[in-house]
Structure 1
Amino acid sequence: MLGEDHPDTVVSKDNLALWKGRSGDTDGAVSGFADVVEDAARVFGVDHSNSLTAWAQFALWKGRAGDFSGAAAACAELLQLQKQAMGEDHVAIGVTLADIARWSVRAGDREAAVAAYDRLIEDLVRRLGPHDPTVLGATVGRANYRGHRGDFAGAADDLTELVSTLRSLEGADQPRTLSALHGVFMWRMEAGDADAATLVYTELMEILRRTLAHGPQHLVLRHNLACGRGETGDRAGAATAFVELTRHVQRALGGDASPVYIAAAAVAYWRWRSGRGTLLAIRSARQSARTEALTSGIAAGPPAWFRGIQ
């Protein structure tokens, strides 16, 4: 017999815990890796790569078992061990910071999640520079998390800073810049800052008018902006935006294309919601959209909000 303190015994326990998890026994995996963490620290030392890997697996299976707070806490302990063993600039530090952010988000711990995103972005900037795509992606993640947790102004501020960076890196009319600017518009509207949202909307429309106004990405962006105006209370503005979208879709796809009918239906819908149209007009437009969708083989048909109007 090899005994409890033989390296092969620790490796076997690690494999057993892993296969328990992969077979669906997540609680068994958590319990198994908790033992492996202790054994690996005793046999290999707390700074050994095997010990750090065991910690990472322990945190992972805690999260998969539904203990999101426990997973974030385990990652926080792992982070301290990694810093001692590897130094501040090792790539594994960024991975663990991202895991802390991920599990904190799942746990609904807003303060911990934002703090983890802040540390992650700081780490990425230090190692990769402020313009690396990973840094930009983490910034978007932090902004969207803030917005979905109710910090609309914070989300808009994050994306406003990102827009400035993307303009200098890629240009004002590039897809990622427009996507970030669209995010600023949506979060400003959610925050109730109509004046700031209107400025962003005007800027977006100006960019769209002078660039590929009929390209698929720009048509989608116009649609999202129009929906955003309606859903945040500017129903008349939504109707006007959909009128303009309908013209662009007609120009790009032809007057008989199914998206034209759906866009026209949206015009009728938002005019009705703003008190400037009739329910009869919606039903007529809805029927045209449905007929065109069926005859052209488009299974999805009109948007969900439109299908609900009988």
Structure 2
Amino acid sequence: MTDHDREPGAYVDASGARYVQVGDHNRMHVQAAPRPPVAWPHRIGTPPSLAAARLERGADRELAQSLAESGGTQILYGTGGVGKTQMAAYLAQQLWDNDELDLLVWVTAASREQITDAYARAALDLTGVEDKDPAHGAERFLTWLAGQREKRWLVVLDDLADPQHAKRLWPPVTATGRAVVTTRRQDAALDGHGRVRVPVGVFVPQESLEYLRMRLRADPGWLAEADGLAADLGHLPLALGHATAYMLDQVLPCAAYRGLFADRARRLEEVFPDQQTLPDEYDRTIATTWSLSVEAADRCRPIELAGVVLEAASLLDANGMPAWALDEYVQGPETIRQGLANLQRFSLVEHQGDLVRVHTLVQRMSRERCSDTRMAKLTTAVADRLLARWPAEEGDQEFCGMLRANARALHQSAGAHLFRRNAAHGVLLRSVESMGLAYQADAAVEYVANIYHECVRFLGADHPDAFKARYEYGRLLGQFGDVTAAIEVNEALLDDAVRVFGPRHRITFAVRGQLARWAGVEGDTVRSARVSRNVADEAARVYGSDDPSALIARERAAYQRGMAGDLPGAIGEYRTLVEDAARVLDPSERGMFMIRGQLAEFLGRNGDYARAVDALQELLPECVRHLGADHGITLTMRSQLARWRGASGDVAGAVAGYSFLLSECTRVFGAGGKLTEATREMLADWQKRLPGQS
């Protein structure tokens, strides 16, 4: 039949059409052209491009191994910016390039609708059937996956915003199929048959440096202070990527960028690329990335609690803060538990036991969002909480080390807010004292000097807290060996103390006592003993002989008397002082142990080794019981006991005592600690005296 033979309107040209709809008299006929068969291997969806200078991470190898060993679904979880999407994209690319996949499906899983729509499109590609309801198409796709026995497939659900979005949409567990899910969530709802959680953290330091070398083209000048920059950014892959993009655009090497980044007057958004200059196809700034997570956590019950808890956590040590330090601000341990649980669900914090960890950039973002008024109240509440929990005696060095780290972090974060109400918060000098007790010499001296300068800045040079900081500065200088500097500091301090407070003030008496002490250490023991006795007598007249200030002055006078050579006189004074102090001090107080320990010390110096050993053997168990095995006084008592045992002829006992003390000091202070090194030298000295040793 030719075109001229056809009835007008009876035929249509459907070449190239997928669907044809015809009809007449209210009757319609739909004819679908058959879809072309799928070409294998087949890819649905578009994974993101790999980031510039993308390096293979240890986490990549761990993911590949876990996928090979357990199959099923690997759930990559972690805070925003650790590289979860890049890991999934890298894995997918590797499997695809190595011909290990017949089907790759990449799905953006920010909503349930996105997942079902992507599944429905995949079903259309694979089965040729288009469902009007995407939910039916998604079901068809999952059925197709479950029925495969030969086709090797990988489904990636990227950035799953809510586990409920994947309900009844999880890829099936089969012999030939695998799935990877990336998410910030850590909800229990993620668990299920065939699902393996894989935590993703930040770069290890070596990876950070390798990334910087690759991204900055290994220019030696640019890489100066690269390790410091990586630490400043908390080794966060996204932060390193954004920072290097900013550095390249602004022509800033690592050292110069560190200076900008350290400037607290600059907000994060000022030292990272803006929305228009984001690298590596990212569509969110770092601040936006985390802000969205905080907002989502705040929507969890109790409403708007997570952000408040994060504000408090933003002031403390990112590597480990006590959860109880946040209690006072958010009113109760149960409330803090709920707030931390919501933050952990979105990988904004790690909460294990009593410790909380937060990435340092998350902290900075949270602080920048906090108003000055709110920050002031928050700082005081957290500082009060730390000080209230600080033990009077530091027997648990691990716990006290955690307190010191958090007090310093709070100081660094809060600054001027710790000098409100016309005073320096007590947590500042308490942390200095703790550093001294832990034999952290250089750190303690530097830190108390900084506190003094801030006291002068915020309170004035004549404020009592400024005097206290100067006093601690001088005391620590002398304690850790710089006696000449200690004398100079205390001489200037004494003049100012007399001018501001008068000659009979407690601060003035304390400074005079310190001057006498360091004069004795420098060798002027006679003058030191005389001045110490004058200070003790005056303090007793002004405050009473049983006043704590008077007792301290008397103890120093007795000590200097003994150092000046009058050992029997010093022993007599210490025996009287033990009796008098017992009326005022609790037997378990540090002061009582120090007085009794000094009595034993001078007994030994006077040649009465047996009584010195007996006194210390009686004293040591009490120190362990009341102060703790790790307390500095306890360790000092062990050293004295070992020394006087050796002096009495028990060389083996001295070696045994110093050997045990060395293990204790190494455990508490580390192999390089000052007390550890001193103990090692003493042990070596007594080992030489063992029979048979040359």
Q: TM-score, normalised to structure 1's length? A: 0.56
Q: How many residues align?
A: 254
Separation in 1 of the partners of 2:190 and 2:534? 65
Query: Which one has the bigger strand percentage?
Result: 2
User: What is the RMSD computed on CA atoms of the aligned residues?
Assistant: 5.3
Separation in 1 of the partners of 2:447 and 2:457? 16
Separation in 2 of the partners of 1:159 and 1:36? 47
What is the Cα deviation at residue 203 of structure 1? 1.7
AA matched with 1:89: C
Task: Look up the SS of the partner of 1:45 in the other structure.
Answer: helix
In structure 2, list runs of 5 or more residues that go unmatched: 1-162, 165-185, 192-291, 310-337, 390-397, 604-694
AA matched with 1:155: A
Separation in 1 of the partners of 2:489 and 2:523? 15
Separation in 2 of the partners of 1:84 and 1:176? 32
Separation in 2 of the partners of 1:37 and 1:238? 72
Cα distance per residue 1:163-187 (max 9 Å; x no partner): 2343455444432122101111122
Structure 1 266/212 Cα, relative in aligned 2: closer, same or farther at 3 Å? same
Task: State the partner residue of 1:184.
Answer: 473
Task: State the partner residue of 1:207.
Answer: 496
Is contact 1:155-1:187 (8 Å) kept?
A: yes
| 532, 551, 570: which one aligns with 1:242 | 532
Separation in 2 of the partners of 1:174 and 1:197? 21
Task: State the partner residue of 1:113.
Answer: 405
Is contact 2:350-2:358 (8 Å) kept?
A: no
What is the Cα deviation at residue 55 of structure 1? 5.1
What is the Cα deviation at residue 45 of structure 1? 2.2
What is the Cα deviation at residue 199 of structure 1? 0.9
Separation in 2 of the partners of 1:83 and 1:262? 44
Separation in 2 of the partners of 1:35 and 1:107? 33
Structure 1 161/278 Cα, relative in aligned 2: closer, same or farther at 3 Å? same
| 393, 397, 414: which one aligns with 1:124 | 414
Is contact 1:47-1:84 (8 Å) kept?
A: no
User: 1:62 aligned to 2:352?
Assistant: yes
| 370, 375, 378: which one aligns with 1:89 | 370
Task: Look up the SS of the partner of 1:205 in the other structure.
Answer: helix
Is contact 2:474-2:486 (8 Å) kept?
A: yes
Is contact 1:258-1:293 (8 Å) kept?
A: yes
Task: Look up the SS of the partner of 1:46 in the other structure.
Answer: helix
Task: Look up the SS of the partner of 2:487 in the other structure.
Answer: helix
Q: After TM superposition, list the pairs within 5 Å mapping 1:8-157 onto structure 2.
A: 45-48=296-299, 49-52=304-307, 53=309, 54=338, 56=340, 62-64=352-354, 71=355, 74-77=356-359, 87-90=368-371, 91=374, 106=399, 108=401, 113=405, 117=408, 120-125=410-415, 132=420, 136-137=424-425, 140=429, 143-144=432-433, 147=436, 150-157=439-446
Is contact 2:520-2:529 (8 Å) kept?
A: no
Task: Look up the SS of the partner of 2:352 in the other structure.
Answer: helix
Structure 1 60/250 Cα, relative in aligned 2: closer, same or farther at 3 Å? farther
What is the Cα deviation at residue 268 of structure 1? 3.5
Separation in 2 of the partners of 1:166 and 1:123? 17
Is contact 1:163-1:177 (8 Å) kept?
A: yes
Is contact 1:262-1:289 (8 Å) kept?
A: no
| 238, 251, 269: which one aligns with 2:559 | 269
Separation in 1 of the partners of 2:189 and 2:520? 50
AA matched with 2:503: A
Q: Which has the larger radius of gyration?
A: 2
Percent of pairs with identical residues: 15
Separation in 1 of the partners of 2:305 and 2:474? 47
Separation in 1 of the partners of 2:418 and 2:541? 40
Mean CA deviation greater in 211-220 or 244-253: 211-220
Structure 1 108/131 Cα, relative in aligned 2: closer, same or farther at 3 Å? closer
Structure 1 50/231 Cα, relative in aligned 2: closer, same or farther at 3 Å? farther
AA matched with 2:573: A
Q: TM-score, normalised to structure 2's length? A: 0.29
AA matched with 1:306: I
Structure 1 63/134 Cα, relative in aligned 2: closer, same or farther at 3 Å? farther
Is contact 2:487-2:515 (8 Å) kept?
A: no
AA matched with 1:113: A
Q: After TM superposition, list the pairs within 5 Å mapping 1:224-243 onto structure 2.
A: 225=514, 229=518, 236=525, 239-243=529-533
Task: Look up the SS of the partner of 2:297 in the other structure.
Answer: coil
Separation in 2 of the partners of 1:113 and 1:229? 30
Separation in 2 of the partners of 1:303 and 1:38? 58
Task: State the partner residue of 1:174.
Answer: 463
Query: Which one has the bigger helix percentage?
Result: 1
In structure 1, list runs of 5 or more residues that go unmatched: 6-33, 65-70
Is contact 2:528-2:560 (8 Å) kept?
A: yes
AA matched with 1:282: A
